[in-house]
Amino acid sequence: MNNSLLDRKIDKRPDRVLLKGRILFLTEDPELIKRQLAGEDLPWDTKNPANNPKLRDDISTDEITPAHYCFYFDETLGEIPYLGLKCGGVTPIGRGDVKRGGFVAAVSGKRRGKGSSREQSPYAEMCAGIKLVIAENIERIYKQNCQNLGVLTSTDFSLIDKIRAGEEIALSEFTKGEDEITRQVIEYGGLFPFNVARMQKKVFLPPIETSKRPMTIAEKIFARNMINENGEAGVASVKPGDSGFARADLRFSHEYVTPMAAIFFEHYVGKDAKVNDPASIIFFRDHLTFLDEVISEEKKKLGLLDLATQLKLKQQDFAAKQGIKLHGELKDRKGSEGICHSIVLESYALPGQLNIGSDSHTPHVGAIGCVAFGIGTTDVFNGWITKDVRVKVPESVRVVIRGKKHANVTAKDFILKILSLDYVRSGKALAKVMEYAGEAIEELSVDERATMTNMAAEIGGFTGIVAPDKKAIDFLVERRGRLDKTMDRKKAESMIEDLYSDPGAQYAQVIELDAAEITPMVATPGDPGNGKYIRELNTPVPVEIAYGGTCTAGKNEDMDMYAAVLADALKRGKRVADSTKFYIQFGSQETRDYCVRKGYLEIFQKAGAHVIEPSCGACINAGPGVSTRPDQVVISAQNRNFPGRSGPGQMYLASPYTVAASAVAGYIVEYEPSEKKELVVT
């Protein structure tokens, strides 16, 4: 650790705060928002909530800071909060409106801050003057990012009256119900000042003294990694609510986050300071590889493409200076080595590890029995200093899918079904571990399990995990064995010992589903939770764009599905419909090589699909496959369809089978792998 940190003067916040400014109510009615921006303060009846205007639910970080504005990593972000916020079908907030409005607090409904882990969102709000976020419930990563930056959060709507009355508010109003460490992070005004105080031994770190108890698989991994009183990793047992710091086995970030974290590191720690254990840190250039092909002329004129290039260069320079492995762009053709989650699963993660990454889909590697979760920029750069991460052991939800699935049903259909459940849509699964089990899960390959764990992010869960078994061992021996000659079956088997949930382990909820009752699904535009069975669509839905790719659907088995559908079509003399463009994007070079070995590239080409080298691409509005018009209908195998995330069009989410079948049919359709070999709407 850098000795200069020990010389800093670190003080706690005062025990009372005075929030001077206006309150911005993010309502469903765009006219009410415009009136507030023009200077009107809306009335708010705390005692009779039915009298109040309807607040927007499910505000995603994509709406707070649309992806292309995340190229900024300084106070310029203060001009752009809520530019993507859709209310009544329009975006009522313009650049600089919030900052000019003198707002000190922003109020919304359920599931505030869902989606991406981008810390640019609360940082933009903070730079615009927002010091407090109030919502019915708040997503874990977004809330932790707020706390790390010093932005206050609350679910107590009575604070509105206190702010308007000019009353001082006890800081304890914002720390009640929080664990001891989170309380101190809030009191010190953010994670970095707290960590400096921690190094100076000014803070209280509660010892974990939980007695031996039956534990879930996630709790066992937390127990292995929680820092004990001796400063080493490992405690006897943990229970939900235990808080502390957990040693991270792997830490990774990509070009959206690394530069901002590097600037924080150099500013607060020192330009010549070194990160802690660079061998366990990995950087990726995977998000913006194809940005130049889709960015608009208007955004180019704003200098956003140049800013995106600066992100790449800053990450390259910091990696070289620190001796950190960077998986970057290809040398011989356009594209990247692979998406961070794909490469971490293929090449790095091991069962039983605790991994952290600068992306909400970090739980991807839970498919082989890791606890892996997304963190924000401040957590990233603090992790470079300490090699650990602040953790409050979460509760677990056990999702049991029994029975045998239909041949045309995939993990994506399972997860869309789970996302549509009231328990998830109401926010009750927020910040909980999603543990998947049951015969139908056991039958899934590791690639398919990764779809389930990856999309724990859409649930708002802390992470997703599947207990490793023979299929996980086979995956490690086959995939990792090619890279690491010491990875043999005996070594892989030893890694999964004790990685299961104990009989008697406690869960916040057990959800049971019957695989036989689940048929192919779509999530209708606007939210991954808008799930419905395809057979429930009342009329055919024509599609202009079909997209198969991203970390969620760019894996080897996803390619098997695209190839199966297109091979069927070619046998029947069919190709991708003339009215539809079908894009298939690999998640990694390993998956591309797999497709070469299997002969899939020829099938894709003959069927009329456009093949793209690895990148996050269209999923973040930064590559081929994005929509360009509001009336365009897209069917995609990616993970999110929040408004504006992948262009202005209407996006349906579906499985690789459904996406490929719909590309051939020209409208949304189930894939029927029956003997009749016909694509039919049932």
321-353: per-residue pLDDT in tens? 999 999 999 999 999 999 999 999 999 999 999
Q: Where is average pLDDT lowest: 154-168, 228-242, 300-314?
A: 300-314
Question: In this predicted structure, what is the pLDDT of residue 681?
Answer: 33
Mean pLDDT throughout 666-677?
Answer: 79
Calculate what percentage of the chain has a pLDDT beyond 70: 98
Burial class (CB in 10 A: 0-12, 13-18, 19+), 370: buried
* pLDDT beyond 50 at 679: no
* CA–CA–CA angle 243, 249, 253 (5° rounding): 95
Task: Name the band, by pLDDT with cuts 50, 70 and 90, for residue 8.
Answer: confident
For residue range 90-111, what is the model confidence (pLDDT) as tens digits?
A: 999 999 999 999 999 999 999 9
pLDDT over threshold 70, residue 231: yes
Q: What is the pLDDT of residue 387?
A: 96
Contact 170, 15 (CB under 8 A): yes
Q: What's the pLDDT score for residue 675?
A: 52
Is the pLDDT at 72 greater than 90? The verdict is no
Boundaries of CATH 3.30.499.10 in the chain? 521-682
Averaged pLDDT for residues 15-27: 97
Contact call for residues 594 and 588 (beta carbons, < 8 A): no
pLDDT value at 494 more than 50: yes
CATH 3.20.19, the chain: domain bounds? 19-167
DSSP string of 487-516? --HHHHHHHTTT-SPPTT---SEEEEEEGG
CB 515 within 8 A of CB 404: yes
CATH number of 19-167: 3.20.19
Indicate yes or no: pTM above 0.95: no
CATH class of the structural domain 521-682: alpha beta
Q: What local confidence, expressed as pLDDT, does residue 677 receive?
A: 42
Task: Please report the pLDDT score of residue 487 as a whole number.
Answer: 85
Q: Which of 353, 64, 409 shows the shortest CA–CA distance to 218? A: 353
CB neighbours of residue 221 within 10 Å: 26
pLDDT averaged over every residue in the chain: 94
Alpha helices, DSSP H only, in 365-488? Answer: 377-386, 411-419, 422-425, 439-442, 446-454, 456-459, 470-475
**Model confidence at 648: pLDDT above 70:** yes
pLDDT given at position 73: 80
Between 4 and 473, the higher pLDDT residue: 473
For 426-471, the pLDDT digits (tens) are 999 999 999 999 999 999 999 999 999 999 999 999 999 999 999 9
Cβ pair 549, 637 in contact under 8 A: yes
Section 361-381 average pLDDT: 96
Task: Tell me how many degrees the CA angle 230-252-263 measures, rounded to the nearest 5.
Answer: 95
Q: Which pLDDT does position 371 carry in this prediction?
A: 98
